[in-house]
Amino acid sequence: MPNNHLSKNIIQLYQKYAREWVALRGELLFEKVWLDRMLVMLPDQANVLDLGCGSGKPIATYLIERGCAITGVDSSELMLQMARHNFPEQTWLQADIRQLSLDQKFDAILAWDSFFHLTQDDQRQMFAQFARHAKLGTMLMFTSGPAHGEVIGELFGQALYHASLASEEYRHLLAQYGFQVLKMVAEDTECTGHTVWLAKKVEPL
């Protein structure tokens, strides 16, 4: 039986447990190896769209320290309050990433540990969102599951929805929207078992 109805609870969970989640997450930057791969491909003072930015720590912290300008998007107002407190000079927007429509194209788009909370159908539709906010040369990095399916985790005793497409479908969607895969590692042991995609916009729509 599909569990995608549980995806509707994600926004509420990250609002309710925002402070607890930030404390649990901590500031250990296990993503550094992948962020560095992206950063070497970016221009100086790159504009980065961070989808599911949370409090801005530790990922936005690291990017800002390296000269990036951040536009962070999250559905949790409490998360964004923390982000604005941490980095008031950056741009923080409360929005559903599935409905985002900004009048700006970015040097990089990041959807780390956020994209995989969407249903499979919503994930498919997100590639148009990525392309809408990308220009030639834009770097796209996101985390997914390692295989097609749904997984129900736990967040402070509450069911936490995750979904993934098959890697072949991700590759097809990326190509369809003009992105070239530069690197993909499933269950990367150098990154706490994350499955990570790094792609570059190489073709106009």
pLDDT digits (tens, 9 = 90+) for 157-180: 777 788 999 999 999 999 999 999
pLDDT at 6 over 60: no
Element (H, E) at 16: helix 10-16
Angle at the Cα of 156 from the Cα atoms of 151 and 160, rounded to 5 degrees: 20
**How confident is the model over 91-123, as pLDDT tens digits?**
999 999 999 999 999 999 999 988 988 999 999
- What is the reported pLDDT for 162? 84
> Tokens 């250990």 identify what position?
28
- Identity at 59, one-letter amino acid code: I
Domain 4-201 listed as CATH 3.40.50.150: yes
Distance CA 205, CA 201 (A): 10
Please report, for the chain, the start and end positions of each structural domain, with discontinuous segments joined by +: 4-201
Helix axes 120-132, 167-176, angle to 10 degrees: 30
**How confident is the model over 21-61, as pLDDT tens digits?**
667 676 779 999 999 999 999 999 999 999 999 899 999 99
